[in-house]
């Protein structure tokens, strides 16, 4: 009887494990099937590197370089803002802050992570966008820069909490060993703790950036959504994610446009996959 029970439980767990892989595989296959259909009418090269995205003109022009660059600019801007602040914050929490302050800060970071992206987008729209417009004297504040700033807020909790974990998990003995040689606190952080935690910090950055690339709602609300080739970070852009979200509803099922949106999905999938694998490699390098 006991053996029988063991058997059933074991198989049930196995089933759960398989289910997760199975569904991922199904989703991926579906994405692939729908996306690949596009390439009977347009070459991969033109799809990726062409400059015009006019899905409803006739004939439709489905070239996503402006969207890729849109995503790129927004992500780059968000990374430049969030990485130094995020890593700095992690160092402060892990190393400098008094235990009580540390608890408060960690709670704050968790709260920041809990803000829904649409709320961030909304706040950005009414506060940041007019400010950007005024400061840079632009015709509109809906720019890649606005998107970058808001997305930096979304990447920060991920970066801070994972980098802080990495710093915290360094054996205390490293720190004492360095201080006992007469090193200052900052020398210890800079020469011992950061190198020791580097793989964890890189992973934190990658996961933060991954979150930015995949983010849709906030960018759709505040980047202006113009599918034009951006020349600077102060222009409206449209990201890959926002394109899918905005156009999927109106694309005719089975049309070229519809397939193109799926193809964008594949591109996003590949980007996220590469980032996650890189992060994972760094996380496991530690061991």
Partner 1 sequence: MVKFSIKNLNAWFNSTQVLDSINLEIITHEILGIIGPSNSGKTTFLRMCNRLNELESFFRMTGEVELDGENSNQIDSQLLRKRVGMVFALPLPLPLSIFDNVAYGARIHGETNRKKLADIVELALTEAYLWEEVKDRLNSSAFKLSGGQQQRLCIARTLAVKPEVILFDEPCSGLDPISTAKVEDAMLKLKKNYTLVLVTNNVKQAARVADRTAFFLSGKLIELDKTEKIFTAPSHQKTDDYIRGKFG
| Residue labelled with tokens 């006019």 | 54
Contact string (CB under 8 A) for partner 1, positions 99-128, x = contact:
x-----------------------------
Which residue's CB is nearer to partner 1, number 187 or number 232?
187
Kindly compute the dihedral angle of the four CA atoms of residues 122, 221, 249, 213, in this order, to the nearest 10 degrees. -110
CB of 95 to partner 1, least distance (A): 11
Dist. CA 132–CA 220, nearest whole Å: 17
- Residue position matching structure tokens 């992206």: 117
Compute how many residues bind partner 1; rule: CB under 8 A.
19
Nearer to partner 1, 188 or 243 (CB): 188
Residues 126-165: x where in contact with partner 1 by CB under 8 A, - otherwise, as a string: ----------------------------------------
Q: Measured from the CB of residue 176, what is the shortest distance to partner 1 in angstroms?
A: 6
For partner 1, which is the closer residue by CB, 32 or 183? 183
Rule CB under 8 A: choose which of 181, 231, 253, 287 binds partner 1.
181
Binding segment for partner 1 (CB under 8 A), chosen from 64-72, 110-118, 172-180, 217-225, is: 172-180
Q: Which is nearer to partner 1, 179 or 248 (CB)?
A: 179
Query: Cβ distance 181 to 109 under 8 Å?
Result: no
Burial 89-119 (b: 16+ CB within 10 A, else e): bbbebbbebeeeebeebeeebeeeeeeebee
Q: Which is nearer to partner 1, 154 or 196 (CB)?
A: 196
287 binds partner 1 (CB under 8 A): no
Q: Does 245 bind partner 1 (CB under 8 A)?
A: no
- The tokens of 137 are what? 């004297």
* Residue 262 β-bridge partners: none
CA 150, chain centre distance (Å): 12
Instruction: Tell me, rounded to whole angstroms, the distance of Cα 46 from its chain centroid.
Output: 26
Helix (H) or strand (E) holding 62: strand 61-62
- Separation of alpha carbons 237 and 71, rounded Å: 8
Kindly state whether residue 249 participates in binding partner 1, applying the rule CB under 8 A: no
Interaction between residue 179 and partner 1 (CB under 8 A):
yes
- Euclidean distance between CA atoms 286 and 165, whole angstroms: 13
Per CB under 8 A, contacts with partner 1 among 185-244 are: 187, 191-192, 195-196
Summarize as ranges the residues that interact with partner 1 (CB under 8 A). 98-99, 171, 173-174, 176-184, 187, 191-192, 195-196
């Amino acid at each position: 009887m006991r053996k029988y029970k063991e058997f059933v439980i074991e198989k049930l767990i196995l089933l759960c494990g398989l289910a997760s892989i199975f569904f991922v595989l199904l989703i991926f296959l579906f994405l692939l099937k729908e996306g690949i259909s596009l390439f009977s009418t347009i070459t991969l090269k033109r799809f990726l590197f062409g400059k015009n995205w006019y899905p409803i003109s006739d004939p439709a022009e489905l070239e996503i370089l402006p969207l890729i660059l849109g995503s790129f600019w927004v992500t780059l801007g968000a990374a430049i803002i969030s990485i130094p602040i995020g890593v700095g914050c992690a160092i402060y929490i892990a190393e400098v802050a008094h235990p009580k302050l540390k608890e408060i800060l960690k709670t704050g970071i968790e709260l920041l992570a809990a803000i829904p992206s649409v709320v961030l987008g909304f706040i950005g729209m009414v506060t940041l966008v007019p400010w950007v417009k005024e400061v840079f004297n632009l015709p509109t504040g809906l720019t890649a820069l606005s998107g970058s700033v808001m997305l930096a807020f979304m990447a920060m909790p991920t970066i801070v909490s994972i980098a802080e974990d990495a710093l915290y998990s360094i054996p205390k003995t490293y720190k004492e060993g360095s201080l006992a040689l007469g090193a200052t606190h900052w020398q210890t952080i800079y020469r011992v703790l950061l190198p020791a935690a580097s793989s964890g910090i890189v992973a934190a950055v990658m996961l933060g950036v991954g979150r930015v690339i995949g983010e849709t709602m906030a960018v759709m609300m505040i980047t202006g959504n113009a599918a034009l080739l951006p020349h600077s970070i102060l222009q409206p852009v449209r990201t890959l994610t926002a394109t899918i979200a905005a156009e999927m509803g109106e694309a005719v099922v089975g049309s070229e446009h519809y397939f193109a949106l799926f193809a964008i999905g594949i591109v996003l999938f590949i980007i996220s996959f590469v980032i996650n694998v890189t992060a994972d490699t760094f996380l496991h390098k530690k061991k």
